[in-house]
Amino acid sequence: MFNIAAKRIIKEIKEVINGDQVEDAALKLELVNDNWMDLRGEFKGPPDTPYEGGAFKLEIKVPETYPFNPPKVRFMTNVWHPNVSSVTGAICLDILKDQWAAALTLRTVMLSIQSLLAAAEPNDPQDAVVATQYKENPELFAKTAKHWTNIYAGGPNHVWEFNRKVEVLIDMGIEEHKARVALSTNDWDIEKATEHLFS
């Protein structure tokens, strides 16, 4: 079957690869297993944010009714952000739901997700814990996001203080990612985090 959706996806990939816009340089888009319904996207964390320098991977599922219905997009890279689930990578973004328009492309979707990282909307959260931290303790939030970017997205900025705290929990026999989640959700209080893990 070679319908509008398949034709468009092929065109869209070409446009991203041959992109002449500056922002295209930071975008990647490719098929998984030569199947137009299943794609991987990647973009660079926006500058002057805790996500700077990270490379963020997206899983993109294209419905047969594309572009009349939106693609399903989620983060494959773990992200600490109010509008992204730290567990599933699900993204809360209006254009992926009721604000979808058929003239939007995977390129514009990726760019929108990139700017979502730069401008969170904590009042319409996907991850309530992260959103609370964002509102009540913005500095700690930014540090946590930077730490996650360093660990999961290959960002260059280490947060040594957090690395050491994760080490402490690992030494207690806790798996690394679990330890990081527990600490992040408990404002990096080791006592609270361990309590949380062993309760």
Partner 1 sequence: MAETSEAKASTSPPGGDAGGEEDKRDERMLECNICLDTARDAVVSMCGHLFCWPCLHQWLETRPSRQVCPVCKAAISRDKVIPLYGRGNTKQEDPRNKRTEPENTSAFPGFSFGDGFHMSFGIGAFPFGVFTSTFNFGDSRPSAAPRGTAQYDEEQFLSKIFLWVAILFVLWLVFA
Which are the catalytic amino acids? 92
Identify whether 67 is preceded by a cis peptide bond (ω within 30 of 0): yes
Q: Select 69 or 88, whichever has its Cβ closest to partner 1.
A: 69
Shortest reach from residue 37's CB to partner 1, in Å: 14
The DSSP result for 69-133, as a single string, is: SPPEEEESS---BTTB-TTT-BB--GGGTTT--TT--HHHHHHHHHHHHHS--TTS-S-HHHHHH
Shortest reach from residue 7's CB to partner 1, in Å: 7
Of the candidates 121, 35, 9, 78, the one whose C-alpha atom is nearest the C-alpha of residue 112 is 121
Which positions lie near partner 1, rule CB under 8 A?
A: 1-4, 7-8, 11-12, 64-65, 67-69, 98, 101-105
Q: Select 72 or 158, whichever has its Cβ closest to partner 1.
A: 72
Q: Select 15 or 42, whichever has its Cβ closest to partner 1.
A: 15
Count of Cβ atoms closer than 10 Å to residue 45 Cβ: 25
Shortest reach from residue 41's CB to partner 1, in Å: 18
Q: Select 54 or 70, whichever has its Cβ closest to partner 1.
A: 70
**Residue by residue, what is the 3-state secondary structure of 53-80?**
CCEEEEEEECCCCCCCCCCEEEECCCCC
